[in-house]
Amino acid sequence: MKNLKKRLKQGDTLNGCWLNLGSPLTAEIVGQAGFDWVLIDLEHGAGSEKDALYQLQALEHTAAGVIVRVESAESQRIHRVLDMGAEGIMCPKISNPAEAQKVVNGLHYPPHGSRGVAKMVRATGFAQNFNQYYEESRDTILGVVQIETVEVLNHLDDVAALDGVDVLFIGPADLSMELGIFGQFDHPLFKEALHETVNAARKAGKATGILFFNPDDYQRYHDLGIRLIACGADATFVADGARNLAKKLDGFRSVYR
């Protein structure tokens, strides 16, 4: 474990990015780049749970902690990637406290949740470290719920107050779409939702997170108190690098033809 939960509780700012290609090679490259954390995206990414296992193995020797975004709050989806060794779970489209509680239940073993017990899994060193893993898991497994719907804006305090919800993570694309202002991150409605989310998390002693698309927006969100920060993705890095180089070479060709 890379102590993401502990560091957030201490007030540290953690920089991360998305992994959506499903590739252990790009995961390893990104993990070695200097990010504090990465997110393996099983909601929209190209990879499957099996691919997530290979990415977790590739990231093991890097400094980056690993959060996995599951497709839903179904317990089986959460259990499987935790057993593979994920340090945190992000669940999309949480709209009310009952849905958030379902996520929490999947994160933790009884009596604090309903996570199924399996010793012969990667997270426990294939049964070598189960007792230690069991005892430490409540303090190390990070629970992240995404604030992406209009409905959840009416329940922010109740969601943030749940024991096991550690981060309210704003999904700007989905939230702005739901608000009818897609991509307008300077719109008063989006700004209001942003402030309400940060305030609810702060009152409950929890952290707030966000994914943004322009690194120049860093100060804007950091000044609001957002500490789990994500910008970019492995697919973006590859696409931007390829396009920029192709454009540069094309420019040389026009000069030296």
Show which residues are catalytic.
44
Please check whether residue 111 is in contact with residue 104, taking contact to mean a CB–CB distance below 8 angstroms: no
Instruction: Please name which of 77, 18, 5 lies closest in space to residue 210, comparing C-alpha atoms.
Output: 18
Torsional class of 232: left (φ above 0), alpha (ψ -120 to 50), beta (otherwise): left
**Helix, strand, or coil (residue 181):** coil
CA dist 13 and 85 (Å) reads 23
> Taking the CB of residue 220, how many other CB atoms lie within 10 A of it?
15
Contact predicate 55/40, CB 8 Å: yes
Which residues lie below 8 Å from residue 215, measured CB to CB, with a gap of 6+?
Answer: 231, 232
- Residue 117 is given by DSSP the state P
110 upstream amide cis, omega within 30 of 0? no
Task: Give phi and psi for 173, each to the nearest 5.
Answer: -65, -55
Q: Which helix (H) or strand (E) holds 197?
A: helix 188-203
| Tokens encoding 15 | 């920089």
Q: Find where tokens 């994914």 sit.
A: 211
